[in-house]
Amino acid sequence: MPTPEKIKNMKGLGILGKWLHNPSIWHFHRHSVSKAFLIGMFWMAIPVPAQMVASAFTAILFRANLPVSVALVWISNPFTMPPIFYFNYLVGAYILGQDASEDWHFELSWQWLIHTLGDLWMPLFLGSAIVGIVLGVASYFTIDLLWRRHVIKNWKERRSKKWRKKFRKEGLKK
């Protein structure tokens, strides 16, 4: 993975110059990582080309952690896309009250794409948007909650160590 400095110095990204220097998009803290999960999980579910680019621009816009946001998009990769997008299609067809046809088959041809996509695009994109929003919001709150629990646990452990150390010192003095 390229370093933040290398990305900041890329000539093609000059239009994003000042935004790429924002520390929030590079540091790992609760808010930026939670937002990155929301963004990454949303774009992962949307069947568009250049999901990583869309995720990166959204992360920069909302000051979310850029590397996490872009990495999460890879959950939908060439192996996982068919079941993810089929599930999204089923969700969209259910919401629209359409019969999710079980008899169609995928063909890697221009003719199939032109004839079949016309019937599939509305339930696919509606289902993808809903699944993306639900996954994004759920992951945002899950990461935020887990991060808070981790911090609270660390505070309690430090406090416990501090008290044990204090009692040991006082016990030795007596």
Asked if residue 124 belongs to a domain, the reply is yes
- pLDDT-derived band of residue 104, with 50, 70 and 90 as boundaries? low
Among candidate residues 16, 13, 59, 14, the one with its CA nearest the CA of residue 36: 59
Task: Give the burial class of 115: count Cβ atoms within 10 A of its Cβ; 0-12 exposed, 13-18 middle, 19 or more buried.
Answer: exposed
- Residue 105 clears pLDDT 90, i.e. is over it: no
Tell whether 73 is covered by a domain: yes
pLDDT of residue 130: 97
At 87, the pLDDT band (50, 70, 90 cuts) reads: very high
**What tens digit of pLDDT does each residue of 152-165 get?**
999 988 888 777 77
Does the residue 16 lie in any domain?
Answer: no
N-terminal to C-terminal alpha carbon distance within the chain: 57
User: Contact 71/40 with Cβ under 8 angstroms?
Assistant: yes
d(CA 103, CA 107): 13
- Residue 56 identity: A
Percent of residues, the chain, with pLDDT higher than 90 = 41
Q: Indicate whether 12 belongs to any domain.
A: no
Q: Give the residue numbers spanning the domain of 103.
A: 23-173
The total domain count for the chain is: 1
**Domain assignment of residue 15, yes or no:** no
Q: pLDDT of 21-77, one tens digit each?
A: 677 788 888 999 999 999 999 999 999 888 998 998 999 989 899 999 999 999 998
Residue 3 lies in a domain: no
Q: Is residue 33 part of a domain?
A: yes
What distance in Å separates the CA atoms of residue 58 and residue 69, rounded to the nearest whole number? 9
* Average pLDDT taken over every residue of the chain: 83
Whether 13 is in a domain gets the answer no
